[in-house]
C-alpha cells in the first residue's frame, strides 16, 4: 500500500486534521512554550589562546552535562553552504509528488534510505505531521548515490561538501568533549569508530498544519547517535524537555544545533545527557530541518569508557554493539 504523505494531505486544503494526527490530551504541545536560552558556544575560541580553549572546553562540557543540547556559532561551515544545503532540500520537496515517490523507501522491510513518512505501529497509532528524506552521508566508501535525490542536480555535490565540512565540526566537538572528561583528545572519536564513524542525513519536511495545537512533528525521543548536528529553516519548532517542562529552542541564524545522543550518554557513563526533544508544527509555514546523525558502525561495541570507571563509579550501561543497541531500542527489548 502506498504511504499517504503528510505534504499531500496538507495540500488538500483541509481545515481539520485527520484523526491519526490528533495527539492525546497530555501530549498536545503548548505552541507558546517559553523559549529556552540553550547554551550558545563560540567555536572560534577553540582555536584561540590556551586559556580560551580551556574555558570553551568547560562551556561545552557543562552544556553537554546540564542540557544535552547547545548551539554553536563560528563553527567554520559557511553561511553560503548552509543556504545551498537548504535550497537543494527544499527543491527536492517542491518536486511533483510522482517524482518524489520514485525515491520511496520501505521502512517496514528495514530499508530506511530514501523518501518516507513514518508509519503507525498499530491501528490506533498516531502519526507525526512530517515527511522525511533519509540517506547515509558518510563514509564515502558506503555512500550509495542511488538512494540520494538526483534532482536538483546539484544535490549530491552540495551534500557531499556539507558532509566534509560538518565532519570538521564534529571532530572538534568530540575532542572538546573528550578533554572535558579527562580523556585523550581522540578518545571519543575512536570509541565511535574513528575513520569508520558514520553520518546519516535526514531532511524533515513539516508542512503547514491547520491545527498545530493538536499535532506533533516528531514525537518525544532521544537520538541514538553520539552527536546530532542540526540546521533548520527560520521557522522555529524544536522543543527540549528541561526540568520537567517543554521549552522552545530559539532560532539563531547560521547556528548549528548540537544534540547529545544515547551513544555519548553510554560512553560517558551517564555524565553527558541524551537530550529528550520533540518538534511542533506551524499553522501557515513550512518548517524544514536537516539533522546529521553521527553514529558508530553497527559492529562497534558500545560501553562506558573504562578510564571513567572505578569502585565508586561502576558501569551504568551494559556493553552492546551499536547494531544491537539500535535493534533493542526500536523493538523495546533488553536483549
Q: Which does 232 bind (CB under 5 to 8 A by kind): Ni ion, ligand OGA, none?
A: ligand OGA
- 155-180 and 79-93 helices, crossing angle to 10°: 130
Examine the residue annotation and report whether 126 is marked as an active-site residue of this protein: no
Instruction: Verify binding: residue 223, Ni ion, rule CB under 5 A.
Output: yes
Give min distance, CB of 129 to ligand OGA, in A.
11
User: How many CB atoms sit inside 10 A of residue 309's CB?
Assistant: 14
**Interior CA angle at 274 toward 271 and 280, to 5°?**
155
Give min distance, CB of 147 to ligand OGA, in A.
18
- How many Å apart are CA 274 and CA 271, to the nearest integer? 10
Helix (H) or strand (E) holding 278: strand 277-279
Q: Which is nearer to Ni ion, 59 or 223 (CB)?
A: 223
Binding site for ligand OGA (CB under 6 A): 202, 204, 218, 223, 232, 237-238, 277, 279, 289, 291
**With CB under 5 A, what is the number of residues at the site for Ni ion?**
1
Instruction: With CA atoms as reference, report the closest residue to 277 among 43, 25, 38.
Output: 38
Examine the residue annotation and report whether 277 is marked as an active-site residue of this protein: yes
Examine the residue annotation and report whether 221 is marked as an active-site residue of this protein: yes
Q: What are 278's strand-pairing partners?
A: 239
Q: Which does 271 bind (CB under 5 to 8 A by kind): Ni ion, ligand OGA, none?
A: none
Range in contact with Ni ion (rule: CB under 5 A) among 90-98, 172-180, 203-211, 223-231: 223-231
Q: Which does 202 bind (CB under 5 to 8 A by kind): Ni ion, ligand OGA, none?
A: ligand OGA
CB-based contact 309:241 (threshold 8 Å): no
- How many Å apart are CA 165 and CA 308, to the nearest integer? 31
Q: Which is nearer to ligand OGA, 261 or 304 (CB)?
A: 261
CB-based contact 29:237 (threshold 8 Å): no
Q: Which is nearer to ligand OGA, 117 or 289 (CB)?
A: 289
- How many Å apart are CA 253 and CA 315, to the nearest integer? 40
- How many Å apart are CA 37 and CA 115, to the nearest integer? 33
Active site residue: 75, 223, 271, 300, which one?
A: 223
Give min distance, CB of 293 to ligand OGA, in A.
8
Active site residue: 75, 100, 189, 202, which one?
A: 202
Give min distance, CB of 202 to ligand OGA, in A.
5
User: How many CB atoms sit inside 10 A of residue 275's CB?
Assistant: 23
Report the catalytic residues.
202, 221, 223, 277
Amino acid at each position: 500500500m502506498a504511504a499517504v504523505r503528510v505534504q499531500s494531505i496538507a495540500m488538500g486544503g483541509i481545515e481539520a486534521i485527520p484523526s491519526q494526527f490528533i495527539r492525546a490530551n497530555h501530549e498536545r504541545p503548548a505552541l507558546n512554550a517559553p523559549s529556552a536560552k540553550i547554551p550558545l558556544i563560540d567555536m572560534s575560541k577553540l582555536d584561540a589562546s590556551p586559556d580560551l580553549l580551556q574555558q570553551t572546553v568547560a562551556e561545552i562540557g557543562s552544556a553537554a552535562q546540564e542540557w544535552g543540547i547547545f548551539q554553536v556559532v563560528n563553527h567554520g561551515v559557511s553561511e553560503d553552504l548552509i543556504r545551498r544545503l537548504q535550497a537543494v532540500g527544499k527543491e527536492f520537496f517542491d518536486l511533483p509528488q510522482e517524482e518524489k515517490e520514485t525515491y520511496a523507501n520501505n521502512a517496514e522491510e528495514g530499508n530506511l534510505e530514501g523518501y518516507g513518512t513514518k508509519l503507525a505501529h498499530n491501528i490506533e497509532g498516531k502519526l507525526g505531521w512530517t515527511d522525511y528524506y533519509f540517506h547515509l552521508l558518510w563514509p564515502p566508501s558506503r555512500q550509495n548515490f542511488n538512494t540520494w535525490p538526483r534532482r536538483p542536480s546539484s544535490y549530491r555535490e552540495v551534500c557531499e561538501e556539507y558532509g566534509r565540512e560538518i565532519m570538521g565540526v564534529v571532530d572538534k566537538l568530540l575532542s572538546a568533549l573528550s578533554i572535558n572528561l579527562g580523556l585523550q583528545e581522540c578518545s571519543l572519536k575512536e570509541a565511535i569508530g574513528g575513520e569508520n564513524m558514520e553520518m546519516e542525513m535526514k531532511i524533515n519536511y513539516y508542512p503547514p498544519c491547520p491545527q498545530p495545537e493538536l499535532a506533533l512533528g516528531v514525537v518525544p525521543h532521544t537520538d541514538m547517535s553520539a552527536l546530532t548536528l542540526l540546521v533548520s529553516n527560520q521557522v522555529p519548532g524544536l522543543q527540549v524537555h528541561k526540568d520537567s517542562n517543554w521549552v522552545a529552542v530559539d532560532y539563531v541564524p547560521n547556528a548549528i544545533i548540537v544534540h547529545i545522543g544515547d551513544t555519548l550518554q553510554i560512553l560517558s557513563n551517564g555524565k553527558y545527557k541524551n537530550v529528550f526533544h520533540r518538534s511542533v508544527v506551524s499553522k501557515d509555514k513550512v518548517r524544514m530541518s536537516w539533522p546529521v546523525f553521527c553514529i558508530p558502525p553497527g559492529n562497534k561495541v558500545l560501553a562506558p569508557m573504562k578510564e571513567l570507571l572505578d569502585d565508586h563509579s561502576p558501569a551504568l550501561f551494559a556493553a552492546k554493539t551499536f547494531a544491537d543497541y539500535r535493534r533493542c531500542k526500536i523493538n523495546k527489548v533488553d536483549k
